[in-house]
């Protein structure tokens, strides 16, 4: 299997190569990228990575819906992966919005929301994405497609113990 799981640094998703300009950090924003092989084990790995990343960014309140979203999008990307091509997961946060993107190398099979029949086992993923995300969409890229979704999220700032910030500069009589 080509490459390894981990942080994405190169245009093909594997560490050790220069980062493309489109993936450079935006000032004032948080972003992380994960590259996964197209295997079923990638789904729980992506869930754990999202949970840990959002905890690090103090966005733990968004973790549960984000885990469900990444599960559905990574599962779909694995289903459409070509010849062992990697699946790339991007997680970004800026201006109160958490954005999740999952990229694969299949520009043909674009996702459509379908209402599955009661006897169908599959086909509910995008119904769930539509229900959980504030917005979602798909775009065709040079190397395949990117399915994205957004959630409104606010960091949970720990409370200070002691006095308020306004009281710090004053002396008490």
The half-sphere exposure of 122 on its side-chain side, counting CA atoms within 13 A, is: 4
Does this model's pTM top 0.85? My answer is no
Q: What is the DSSP string of 51-101?
A: HHHHHHTT-GGGHHHHHHHHHHHHHHHHHT--TT--EEEEEEEETTEEEEE
Spatial CA neighbour of 23 closest among 41, 7, 4, 40: 7
Does any domain span residue 11? Answer: yes
In a domain, 1, yes or no: no
Evaluate whether residue 171 is within a structural domain: no
Long-range contacts of 46-53 (CB under 8 A, 24+ apart): 46/70, 46/71, 46/74, 46/89, 47/71, 49/89, 50/89, 50/91, 50/100, 53/91
Domain that holds residue 106: 6-157
Give the domain CATH number at 112.
3.30.565.10
Q: Within a domain: residue 169?
A: no
pLDDT, residue 121, reads: 56
Q: Tell me, yes or no, whether 168 lies in a domain.
A: no
CB atoms within 10 A of CB 3: 17
Is residue 78, in this structure, part of any structural domain at all? yes
Domain count, the chain: 1
**Given this model, what pLDDT does residue 81 score?**
80
The reported pLDDT for the residue numbered 110 is 82
For residue 24, what pLDDT is reported? 54
* pLDDT at res. 83: 75
Looking at residue 28, its pLDDT comes to: 61
Chunked into runs of 10 residues, the chain (173 residues) has average pLDDT values of 37 41 60 95 97 95 96 92 87 95 89 66 75 94 93 80 49 46
Would you state the pLDDT for residue 65? Answer: 97
Is 162 within a domain? no
Q: What is the pLDDT of residues 83-109, one digit of tens each?
A: 778 999 999 999 999 999 999 998 888
pLDDT of residue 87: 95
> How far is residue 37's CA from residue 120's CA, in Å, rounded to a whole number?
27
Q: Does residue 166 lie within any of the structural domains?
A: no
């Amino acid at each position: 299997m080509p490459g390894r799981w981990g942080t994405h640094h190169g245009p093909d998703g594997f560490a050790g190569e220069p980062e493309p300009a489109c993936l450079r950090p935006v000032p004032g924003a948080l972003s992380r990228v994960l590259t996964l092989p197209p295997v079923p084990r990638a789904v729980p790995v992506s869930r754990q990575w999202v949970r840990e990343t959002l905890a690090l960014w103090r966005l733990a309140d968004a973790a549960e819906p984000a885990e469900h979203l990444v599960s559905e999008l990574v599962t779909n990307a694995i289903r459409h992966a070509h010849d062992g091509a990697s699946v790339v997961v991007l997680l970004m946060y800026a201006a109160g919005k958490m954005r999740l993107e999952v990229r694969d190398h299949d520009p043909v099979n674009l996702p459509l929301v379908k209402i599955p029949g009661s006897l169908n086992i599959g086909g509910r993923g995008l119904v769930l994405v539509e229900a959980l995300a504030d917005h979602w969409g798909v775009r065709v890229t040079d190397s395949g497609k990117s399915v994205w979704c957004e959630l409104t999220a606010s960091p949970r700032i720990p409370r200070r113990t002691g006095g308020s910030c306004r009281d710090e500069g004053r002396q008490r009589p």
